[in-house]
Structure 1
C-alpha cells in the first residue's frame, strides 16, 4: 500500500491549468499549487459533520474541520474527487453526488496554495469515519458550529471555504 505522500497530484497554475504532476509529499514540501475538494456533509436533520483531524495528517494535523475532502488525484475531476473523498472520510458508500457550489484559490502566503472546489451533500447513512483521518466527529447544529469558531483550532482553508459558502447562501 502506498502512503498518502506518494499519491500523484496535478500541479496547476493560478488559472487552474495543469503544469505537470508531482507526488503529494513533494508538492507539499515544495509549496506546489494543486487541487482540493471540500464537501460540507449534513445529516437528515441538517446538522453539519464536524471532525478533528488526526495528528498524523500531512497538513493541519489535530485541527477541527467542518468539511470532508482532500486532494484531487492526477487526472481526476473535482466532481469525482468530491464523491470519492466524502465516501472515504465518512466511511459510507452510496452517497448522492455532492452538489458543486463554488471554487476559489486558497493561498495563505506561506507555501499552502490550492484550488478549492466546495460542495454540499446530504448524508443520511450511518457514518463510520476513517480512523486514519478522523480523531473525533459529531453532527452539530449550525449555531453550535458558529459558537465554536472562536473556541476551537480550525483548519484555515476550511474556514475560508466556510465563510465563502456562508456568503454565497446569504446572497441568495
Structure 2
C-alpha cells in the first residue's frame, strides 16, 4: 500500500482510510493542504514541478503542498509539506478551503499562507525551478496552458 489518506465526503467528513492512488483512480475525495509562500517584499513563490512527477509533471504552480496524512489537520500537513519540499519551517496561516473538482480527481483543498524570510532549499525530486514573482506576474503565468489548472482555480479564489 502507498500513501494513506482519509477519504472524505462532500462536507469534508472522514469516511475511512484509503490509499491515495486508489482515491485518485476512483475519484474519491480526500484532503490536500497547500501554502502560498510570500517573501518579505510580498512576492509569491512560483515553481515548476519536476518532470517525472506523477501528477502535473513539468507544469508551473504557486501552491506548495500535498495530501494530508491520516489524522493530520490541514495546518499540520501544510507545515510538513513546506519542510519537505522547501526545507523551511515557518508558521502557516489557514486562508480558506474549497472542494476542488480537480482535473484528475476531486479533493478538498486547504490553502494557507506563510511568509518565508529564510533561504529555501527546494527538493529537486519535487521542484525543478522556482522564482519569486509579483501578483501581476503570477496572474499572467496562470493564464498559460503550462500552469496547473487546479492551481489557477485556487489563485482566482485566493486573489478575490
Query: How many angstroms apart in 1 are the aligned matches of 2:157 and 2:146?
Result: 19
5+ residue gaps in structure 1? 168-172
TM-score by length of 2: 0.93
Which position in structure 1 is the counterpart of 2:35? Answer: 39
Offset, 1:111 = 4.9
Residues 49-78 of structure 1: per-residue CA shift (max 9 Å, x gap)? 000111222222211001101110111111
> For the Cα contact (< 8 Å) 1:64–1:152, is it kept in 2?
no
> For the Cα contact (< 8 Å) 1:10–1:18, is it kept in 2?
yes
Q: Does 1:77 align with 2:70?
A: no
> For the Cα contact (< 8 Å) 1:43–1:124, is it kept in 2?
yes
Query: How many angstroms apart in 1 are the aligned matches of 2:100 and 2:80?
Result: 21
Query: How many angstroms apart in 2 are the aligned matches of 1:111 and 1:146?
Result: 23
Mean Cα deviation higher: 18-27 or 6-15: 18-27
Query: How many angstroms apart in 1 are the aligned matches of 2:11 and 2:154?
Result: 18
Residues 36-57 of structure 1: per-residue CA shift (max 9 Å, x gap)? 0120001111111000111222
Offset, 1:82 = 1.0
Residues 111-152 of structure 1: per-residue CA shift (max 9 Å, x gap)? 510001111100011001011110111111222112222235
TM-score by length of 1: 0.87
2:20 to 24, 28, 32: 24
Mean Cα deviation higher: 130-139 or 144-153: 144-153
**Matched pairs, number:** 160
1:141 to 129, 134, 137: 134
1:87 to 59, 79, 83: 83
Q: Does 1:100 align with 2:94?
A: yes
Mean Cα deviation higher: 142-151 or 58-67: 142-151
Query: How many angstroms apart in 2 are the aligned matches of 1:140 and 1:111?
Result: 27
Which position in structure 2 is the counterpart of 1:116? Answer: 109
Which position in structure 2 is the counterpart of 1:61? Answer: 57
Which position in structure 2 is the counterpart of 1:170? Answer: none
5+ residue gaps in structure 2? none
